[in-house]
């Protein structure tokens, strides 16, 4: 019985809306714009956050990254005069971390040995990095083509390499790089060819430069076995910069320390920092905790989401006021009908439901169209402005839900005003 009445009420609502097509459309337009704005705003916010999140996840939330940094100039004058800059992480540091700190699954050292590769006549600035086979697993990066560096490569001190996607694109635009050799030249070790065995998948970070947080642009790296890096290249490196040359010693550029559990990440990072302090007189290393960054980024994301969502939400409220306005007009216009229905046995709640359902229909239809408009709008933003946008399912559900809530909220007053009308007065109304 109730469902029959509900269907009837919905039918009445649809009928009344169709009776005033333009008016209903204009009313729904407020909701359409509101929902569209919410979706666009949230999709921009999500798109921006997602880019950062990808970067952070790439570093691995369970990792602690220790990175060598060149001390700033004006430090040790004597050392600079000796033309030897000695800084960064060394073998002792690696041993300390591996042997004294608990909760560590593995430590992957990275050793930079050269900064340019060439293929035929083409040269390309890169970073040639020696590392262990476990590196790729630690940072959750997949191999797009070929294979990763294997333990056997390290054993055999093989001259093989895995290249980043940018290098593939620059040097091998129209050919398969697997099996070809690129040449790595350094002042001290001369020219060594490396056979390409694999290509990393492209690291898409949607907008922000991929070097952002970790300081590594994986798309621009050439990975070789760590043993090869150590045996083929000495500890001293020569680097020519414009007009001068420098000699420096930096054994490891990074340690990727993988921690067993997420809850141990922060304590481990503190322990690592403590352990390394003793061996380093100057601040020539830094400890980065992607997990910490993740939390900061998540907070930022939440704030951005709230701010943008609230701005868009205001337009939804304006849409709701539009609904209320029209519903009040409708109630006035249909006062006599209300009186007739009341005389014929409609209870107050029947009248309330009739008008409430009408505003709900307006906001539902407006919300549905708004979802479509918002989705199209987000795509246009990406296409025209080049901003990354992401529409999550929850974005759609939340904005649609908000539209319904607005329709309900702003529909209640006109509906109850209609129900409160005195049937005698209403009947007399013309």
Q: Is residue 341 involved in binding another protein (CB under 8 A)? A: yes
- Residues near 160 by beta carbon (within 8 Å), at least 6 away in sequence: 149, 153, 194, 195, 196, 197, 224, 225
Terminal Cα-to-Cα distance of the chain (whole angstroms): 33
CA 202 vs CA 53, 135, 144, 378, 389: distances in Å: 16, 16, 8, 24, 19
Q: Applying CB under 8 A, does 307 fall inside the site for another protein? A: no
Q: Which of 190, 345, 386, 393 binds another protein (CB under 8 A)?
A: 345
Taking the C-alpha atoms of residue 345 and residue 184, their distance in angstroms, rounded to an integer, is 92
Using rule CB under 8 A, residue 204 touches another protein? no
For another protein, which is the closer residue by CB, 306 or 343? 343
**379-398 positions binding another protein, by CB under 8 A:** none
How many angstroms separate the CA atoms of 246 and 237, rounded?
A: 8
Q: Which is nearer to another protein, 340 or 405 (CB)?
A: 340
**Number of shown-chain residues binding another protein (CB under 8 A):** 26
What does the alpha-carbon distance between residue 51 and residue 150 come to, in Å, rounded to a whole number?
31
Q: Give min distance, CB of 351 to another protein, in A.
A: 10
57 makes contact with another protein (CB under 8 A): no
Q: Is 23 in the site for another protein (CB under 8 A)?
A: no
141 φ/ψ angles, rounded to the nearest 5 degrees: -115, 135
* In contact, 103 and 268? CB cutoff 8 Å: yes
- Considering only residues 82, 262, 307, 343, which one is a binding residue for another protein as defined by CB under 8 A? 343
Please report how close the Cβ of residue 357 comes to another protein at its closest, in angstroms: 14
Quick one: 290 or 339, whose CB is closer to another protein?
339
- Of 10 and 206, the one with the shorter C-beta distance to another protein is 10
Does 346 engage in binding with another protein (CB under 8 A)? yes
Part in contact with another protein (CB under 8 A); list of ranges 5-13, 27-35, 155-163, 273-281: 5-13
* Residue from 56, 342, 369, 390 binding another protein (CB under 8 A): 342
Nearest distance from residue 10's CB to another protein, in Å?
12
* Minimum CB–partner distance for residue 340 and another protein (Å): 5
Eight-state DSSP code of residue 381: I
5 binds another protein (CB under 8 A): yes
Nearer to another protein, 97 or 361 (CB): 361
Phi-psi region of 206 (alpha: psi -120 to 50; beta: other; left: phi over 0): left
Indicate the length of the chain as a whole number: 430
Judged by CB, which is closer to another protein: 288, or 341?
341
| Binding positions for another protein, 349-378, rule CB under 8 A | 350
What is residue 114's three-state secondary structure?
A: strand
Q: Does 90 bind another protein (CB under 8 A)?
A: no
Contact between 336 and another protein per CB under 8 A: yes
Q: Which is nearer to another protein, 105 or 336 (CB)?
A: 336
Nearer to another protein by Cβ, of 104 and 351: the residue is: 351
Residue 306 CB neighbours (<10 A): 12
Are the C-beta atoms of 383 and 375 separated by less than 8 Å? Answer: no
6 binds another protein (CB under 8 A): no
Nearer to another protein, 381 or 427 (CB): 427
**CB contact set of 188 (below 8 Å; sequence gap of 6+):** 233, 234, 236, 237, 238
Q: Which residues of 117-147 are buried (b: 16+ CB within 10 A; e: fewer)?
A: bebeeeebebbbbbbbbbbbebbebeeebbe
Distances (CA, A) of 323 to 252, 348, 358, 421: 65, 21, 10, 20
35, 26, 24, 40: which is closest to 315 by C-alpha?
A: 35
Binding region for another protein (CB under 8 A):
1-2, 4-5, 7-8, 15-16, 19, 336-337, 339-348, 350, 423-424, 427, 430
């Amino acid at each position: 019985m109730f469902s029959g009445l509900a269907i009837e009420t919905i039918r009445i609502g649809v009928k009344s809306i169709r009776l005033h097509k333009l008016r209903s459309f204009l009313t729904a337009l407020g909701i359409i714009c509101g929902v569209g704005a919410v979706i666009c705003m949230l999709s921009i916010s999500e798109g921006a956050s997602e880019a950062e999140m990808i970067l952070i996840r790439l570093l691995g939330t369970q990792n602690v990254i220790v990175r060598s940094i060149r001390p700033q100039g004006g430090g040790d004058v004597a050392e600079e005069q000796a033309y030897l800059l000695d800084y960064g992480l060394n073998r002792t540091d690696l041993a300390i971390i591996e042997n004294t700190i608990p909760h560590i699954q593995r430590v992957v050292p990275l050793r930079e040995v050269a900064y340019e590769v060439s293929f035929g006549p083409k040269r390309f600035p890169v970073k040639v990095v020696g590392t262990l086979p476990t590196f790729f697993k630690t940072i959750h990066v997949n191999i797009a083509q070929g294979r990763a560096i294997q333990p056997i490569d390290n054993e055999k001190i093989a001259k093989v390499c895995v290249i980043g996607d940018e290098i593939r694109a620059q040097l091998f635009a129209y050919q398969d790089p697997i099996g070809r050799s690129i040449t790595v030249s350094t002042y001290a070790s001369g020219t060594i060819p490396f056979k390409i065995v694999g290509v990393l998948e492209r690291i898409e970070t949607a907008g922000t430069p991929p070097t952002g947080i970790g300081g590594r642009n994986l798309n621009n790296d050439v990975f070789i076995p760590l043993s090869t890096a150590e045996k083929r290249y000495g500890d001293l490196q020569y680097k020519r910069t414009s007009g001068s040359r420098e000699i420096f010693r930096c054994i490891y550029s990074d340690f990727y320390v993988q921690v067993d559990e997420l809850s141990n990440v922060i304590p481990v990072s503190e322990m690592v920092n403590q352990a390394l302090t003793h061996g380093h007189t100057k601040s020539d290393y830094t400890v980065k905790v992607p997990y910490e960054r993740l939390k900061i980024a998540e907070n930022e994301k939440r704030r951005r989401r709230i701010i943008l969502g609230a701005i868009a939400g205001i337009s939804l409220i304006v849409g709701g006021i539009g609904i209320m306005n029209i519903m009040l007009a409708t109630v006035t216009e249909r006062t006599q009908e209300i009186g007739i229905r009341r005389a014929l046995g409609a209870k107050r709640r029947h009248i309330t439901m009739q008008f409430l359902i009408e505003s709900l229909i307006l906001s539902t239809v407006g919300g549905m169209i708004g979802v479509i408009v918002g989705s199209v709008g987000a795509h246009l933003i990406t296409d025209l402005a080049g901003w990354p946008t992401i529409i999550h399912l929850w974005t759609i559900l939340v904005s649609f839900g908000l539209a319904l809530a607005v329709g309900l909220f702003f529909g209640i007053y006109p509906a109850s005003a209609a129900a409160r009308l005195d049937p005698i007065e209403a009947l007399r109304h013309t």
